[in-house]
Amino acid sequence: MKIAVGSDHAGFEFKKTVLSWLERNSYEINDMGPHNEESVDYPDFARKVAFAVADGQCDSGILLCGTGIGVSIAANKVKGIRAALACNPEFAILARQHNNANILCLPARFTDAVTIEKTLQNWFSTDFEGGRHEKRVNKIEPCC
């Protein structure tokens, strides 16, 4: 499974935690940047990850910024993307089970490495439930 990963400068340090966890768990990684802590604009990296997932270059994506809100808003502008902010490990389960989210967004300024790793574990070990959730997810697609 190939995972696109991106962040802004606020998420850069925890991006290292994400990359390390993915490597330890044998995922193929596409690090979309940034590659240092210099100030950058989060929409640029959210868009890179979102297009990589939407185009099928990667199976799913992970984005980090200070709150996770900015990258989730930016990624969700791309058709076919369901980016979900997971503030804790339980949110990651529900984002997969109920929303079939394909990009996980993490709040770098409001978490720690242990929580990130548990959130990643939950994200990758949970499947979409389908059923009653499928018709709802289908309604998420852009209407115009």
Which of 35, 65, 133, 144 is labelled catalytic?
65
Per-residue model confidence as pLDDT tens for the chain (144 residues):
999 999 999 999 999 999 999 999 999 999 999 999 999 999 999 999 999 999 999 999 999 999 999 999 999 999 999 999 999 999 999 999 999 999 999 999 999 999 999 999 999 999 986 777 887 877 787 655
pLDDT for 3: 98
| Cα distance between residue 111 and residue 63, in whole Å | 14
State the catalytic residue, choosing from 87, 98, 133, 144: 98
Whether 35 sits among the annotated catalytic residues: the reply is no
pLDDT score, position 143: 57
Stated pTM of the model: 0.94
Q: How far apart are CA 32 and CA 138, in angstroms?
A: 28
Question: Which amino acid does the sequence have at 35?
Answer: H
Q: Looking at domain 2-138, what is its CATH homologous superfamily?
A: Sugar-phosphate isomerase, RpiB/LacA/LacB (3.40.1400.10)
In whole angstroms, give the CA distance from residue 24 to residue 120: 12
What does the pLDDT read at residue 130? 75
Catalytic status, residue 65: yes
